[in-house]
Amino acid sequence: MPASSESSRVSKKLRVYIPATVPMLRELVADREIRAINDTAFAVTPALREAYASGDDDELAEVAMAEAARASLRLLAEESAAADLGGEDAGDETDAAPKGPIFRRAVIAADVDGATLRPDLDDAVVRLSAAVPYERIASIHVDLAEAESEVAKAVEVIDAADMGDADAEFVLGDAEDHQLAWYAAQELPFLLELL
């Protein structure tokens, strides 16, 4: 970690976008807090403002949320790989249980203190210093059912897209064309009942 990263701690409250999956949302409801994977989230940072000099705050927030949604695809890829490994040894009694991830990207918007800017990782990346309590959640953003097939395809090619494969980027674009639906934090338990 660069020595300068400690000096880049944000002293004021910051809106962050935490990549998530449906199981992570279930944990948020059960535990009343969420810890971002590797404490990584996305936000409108000075580096992001510099990279998009013409964008206003709302447009930059959309960019940060899009970065979090793409990171959600990576989390779904990990869930999918874990389900594939676990499914090889599954017996008959698990046949009724759902297998694999629910292919919906999820992003949690929250207001936090103590985030550290990490422009060395990417323009919008921040590191969180602690778990985020439920009362700090501003909103939840989740794909609708019609996005699932494109999201599932994007999960298959996310690594290739990261390596610059143009065809994989096209598949990701199909998934990213779907807008995430907005839910208030208090709506999350009801949403999860429907999934």
- φ, ψ of residue 119 to 5 degrees: the values are -65, -15
Cα dihedral 185, 191, 192, 195, rounded to 10, equals -150
pLDDT, tens digit, for every residue of 84-125?
Answer: 776 544 444 444 445 678 999 999 999 999 899 998 899 999
Q: Could you give the angle at the alpha carbon of 104 between the alpha carbons of 80 and 138, nearest 5°?
A: 125
Residue 184: exposure state from Cβ atoms within 10 A (0-12, 13-18, ≥19): exposed
For the chain, what is the mean pLDDT?
88
pLDDT of residue 85: 76
pLDDT, tens digit, for every residue of 135-165?
Answer: 999 999 999 999 999 999 999 999 999 899 9
* pTM exceeds cut of 0.85: yes
Q: Please compute the mean of the pLDDT values over residues 68-77 and round it to a whole number.
A: 96
Q: Which residue has the higher pLDDT, 20 or 7?
A: 20
Answer whether residue 27 shows pLDDT above 50.
Answer: yes
CB atoms within 10 A of CB 72: 27
How far apart, in whole angstroms, are the C-alpha atoms of residue 3 and residue 23? 35
Q: Please compute the mean of the pLDDT values over residues 14-43 and round it to a whole number.
A: 96
Answer whether residue 81 shows pLDDT above 80.
Answer: yes
pLDDT of residue 11: 66
Answer whether residue 7 shows pLDDT above 80.
Answer: no
Residue 115 CA: distances (Å) to CA of 19, 39, 42, 111: 15, 9, 10, 10
Q: Please compute the mean of the pLDDT values over residues 34-38 and round it to a whole number.
A: 95
Answer whether residue 79 shows pLDDT above 70.
Answer: yes
- φ, ψ of residue 173 to 5 degrees: the values are -60, -40
